[in-house]
A and B are shown apart, each in its own frame.
Chain A
Amino acid sequence: MSPQRPPVGDRFRHFLSALGGATTPAGDPAVPQVAAPAGVPPTTEQRRGGGRRGGGEPLNVPPAEFTSYYGRPILKPPVWKWDIAAYLFTGGTSAGSALLAAGGQLTGRPALRRAGRVAGLAAIGASTFFLIHDLGRPDRFHHMLRVARPTSPMSMGTWILGVFGPAIGAAAVAEAAPLLPARGVLGLGRRLLPPVGHAAGLVAAVTAPALATYTAVLLADTAVPSWHEAYPELPAVFGGSALASGAGVGLLAAPTRQAGPARRMAVAGAAMELWGSHRIEHRLGLLSEPYRNGTPGRLLTAGRLLTAAGVAGALVGRRSRLLSGLSGVALLAASLATRFGIFHGGVASARDPKYTVVPQRERVRRREASHSEGES
């Protein structure tokens, strides 16, 4: 046995000391009581809102009395690290930027076009890094290209990225055309690049909405309770967040007289995102809880406040370059906070067996109730 190895039974000795005198032969009055199950207050929350729309399972909140093997989680919480939450943000920002760039390209707003393409490329580059970095075997990232499988949102996402990434990349490179000399081989490039960039920018814009919303299916298509049950609204949150962050790029980079569409995009994106996140935080009963408590709750609240501030700034600061820029930063920060909030809310719901057992028990109870009604 190596001398560095901790002695066998270390944790058990720790356990014994935590257990206190409960195992010592003589009754010790000073032994602390271990958490009493009767002390767990029942959750009295009610489902808010009237009719349920758009699918998902209605979850009435029963008392949170539940059992689990040594209280351990039943699910394995996601092993995805912060890279994936960061990717949700950069991927969405890239998609929003590509839409902004295509709009600028088609309506003659070169500042929006340039900013959107360059930001789109930067964000998709970061996304690729995050995605590969998060793999357990980064050197095998290309194994993703072995199959195309509609039941795997990650596989679909790989192929969406495979189209979008090169397209936004080509569009961004085309922005360098004016820097090339007018003559010679490079001069040819100077003439050819703009039309190529034009076509590539349109391809990227067509793929962008898919890139922004498939990530919602990526999270929802798991056993993680608070992600799965939020599947009707998650795409709206992610799509809206992507629009708002794309608008943020526009507000930050373009002069005020070209930034009108970015302001309107910010309003539309914020509306989608706020509607979706409000539903997620209130419609799911017990499974909304992880999104309201703790760090995820704080992140989502911060996201909401920053979105509101960003939209207000964008509308008020029509003529102020500084105010527009600041609201652009606020919108980007809002998107970042929202993505991390949703990500960590789901992780928290997988870590606590309550969110696995209680809704499933409730489902069994309802099914049995409807069975016995049918028989009698």
Chain B
Amino acid sequence: MPDANSLYGPLDPAPDAGWADAPPRMGFFTDTSVCIGCKACEVACKEWNDVPASGLDLLGMSYDNTGALTANSWRHVAFIEQPRPAGHRTPPFAGNPTDGPVSAAAAAVAAGTGNDTGTDPGVPPGDPAAAARMAAGPEFLGMPGAQPPGRGTGAAERTDFRWLMMSNVCKHCTHAACLDVCPTGALFRTEFGTVVVQEDICNGCGYCISACPYGVIDQRKGDGRAWKCTLCYDRLGAGQTPACAQACPTESIMYGELDELRERAAARVATLHERGVPEARLYGHDPDDGVGGDGAFFLLLDEPEVYGLPPDPVVTTRDLPRMWRRAGLAALTMAAAAVAAFVGGSS
């Protein structure tokens, strides 16, 4: 008997998928406030999972030359450069540049770059204006002038700079649309509550790619199949920590039982608020959100969309019963119209 919340709402996914005596649900808590952008997670993931190369070129997106999560990049470290008002934080030195930041202009141009990731759709180009707003930060300071930093304005206009870094990954949703729509059963729910693609089953229909509200899963060119983070299912089975969390030197990526991680995250946010970082917030931690909570959730320092995350994702299958009903209604209308067309007249 499926749970009443099988399609939407708080749920423990592994027992719902039929696992008897499932172990506790495992997941990631990625605390971006301590991420240093070393990309050890990206490298460790590629090494352990034997993920192919994903292009070797510079994107102009700060230090991010990966671009996005793709079939060939299962961890992706995002880099965002934002100006901040100098305020009480580190004041710029006398010799420092004092003009408006170039980060917005640079981000706008970087929106158009690309890399041959060997996947489809890979890293598609973006909207320059939205990119500029991302780099402008929470306090938008106007567009930069054509001049290089350090000219044109006085010390009053000096700004500081902050660097947001965040290691993105598959969210292993409680309600995983990719899994729900998979027509072959290639995607399945593990006993740890994670979502994994079976490479020997997937036939590359591409449905999961359109269904994912986070734009995580992607198709590998030439190979044709869909690939994404497995939360190192093989390592989990052996009681080990996933490769990325193991490699993370600052423990920005924390792996463990989801319930425990959620407690740890709440405590961390409280600490940060206390220390004067009011912008710290959790993302994907809430079992009452649109996807029933993420197995991999985050602590962010700006709005989710700045990091390329949807602000309020909802699993598409929430509306599926209504969709089928509307389709049934249309099918009956069709049948009635066809009957009427043949009964309704003689000519």
- Interface, chain A (partner B; CB < 8 A): 8-12, 14-16, 18-19, 21-29, 31-40, 54-55, 65-80, 99-100, 102-103, 106-107, 134-138, 140-141, 143-144, 146-147, 149-155, 158, 205, 208-210, 212-214, 216-217, 220-224, 228, 231-236, 238-240, 242-243, 247, 257, 260-262, 264-265, 268-269, 272, 318, 350-354, 356-357, 360-361, 363-364
Say whether B258 faces chain A, with CB atoms less than 8 Å apart: no
Report the count of interface residues on B (CB-CB < 8 A): 114
Closest 8 CB pairs of A and B: A136-B204, A136-B224, A69-B308, A71-B126, A12-B58, A235-B330, A71-B131, A209-B331
| Cβ-defined contact, A360 with B317, below 8 A | no
Which chain A positions have C-beta within 8 A of B96? none
Say whether B334 faces chain A, with CB atoms less than 8 Å apart: yes
Which chain A positions have C-beta within 8 A of B7? 151
| Cβ-defined contact, B203 with A72, below 8 A | no
| Cβ-defined contact, B124 with A77, below 8 A | yes
- State which residues 158-209 of B face A: CB under 8 Å: 177, 180-186, 201-207, 209
- Interface, chain B (partner A; CB < 8 A): 7, 56-61, 67-68, 78, 80, 102, 104-115, 120-121, 123-134, 136, 140, 142-144, 146-148, 151, 177, 180-186, 201-207, 209-219, 223-226, 303, 305-313, 316-317, 319-320, 322-324, 326-335, 337-342, 344-347
Q: What are 14 inter-chain pairs, A to B, with CB distance below 8 A?
A: A9-B57, A11-B113, A21-B146, A67-B305, A71-B130, A73-B215, A79-B209, A79-B210, A80-B210, A103-B342, A135-B224, A210-B331, A239-B333, A261-B342
Besides A8-B56, A70-B134, A221-B181, 12 new A-B residue pairs in contact (Cβ under 8 A), listed by A number = A22-B148, A69-B305, A71-B127, A72-B123, A74-B215, A140-B202, A151-B181, A222-B210, A264-B340, A268-B338, A351-B124, A356-B310
B112, B317, B322: the one within 8 Å of A18 (CB): B112
Bound-complex Cα distance A153 to B134 (A)? 37
| Cβ-defined contact, B303 with A69, below 8 A | no
Which chain A positions have C-beta within 8 A of B324? 150, 217
| Cβ-defined contact, A33 with B146, below 8 A | yes
Which chain B positions have C-beta within 8 A of A353? 126-127, 130, 305
| Cβ-defined contact, B215 with A75, below 8 A | yes
| Cβ-defined contact, A360 with B313, below 8 A | yes
| Cβ-defined contact, B129 with A265, below 8 A | no
A29, A72, A158, A318: the one within 8 Å of B124 (CB): A72
B120, B127, B181: the one within 8 Å of A68 (CB): B127
Bound-complex Cα distance A257 to B307 (A)? 65
Q: Which single residue of chain B is at the shortest CB-CB distance from A212?
A: B334
Bound-complex Cα distance A74 to B126 (A)? 10
| Cβ-defined contact, A55 with B146, below 8 A | no
Which chain B positions have C-beta within 8 A of A14? 113
Answer whether A214 and B338 are a contact pair too, CB < 8 Å, given A35-B128, A76-B217: no
Bound-complex Cα distance A97 to B104 (A)? 56
Which chain A positions have C-beta within 8 A of B113? 11-12, 14-15
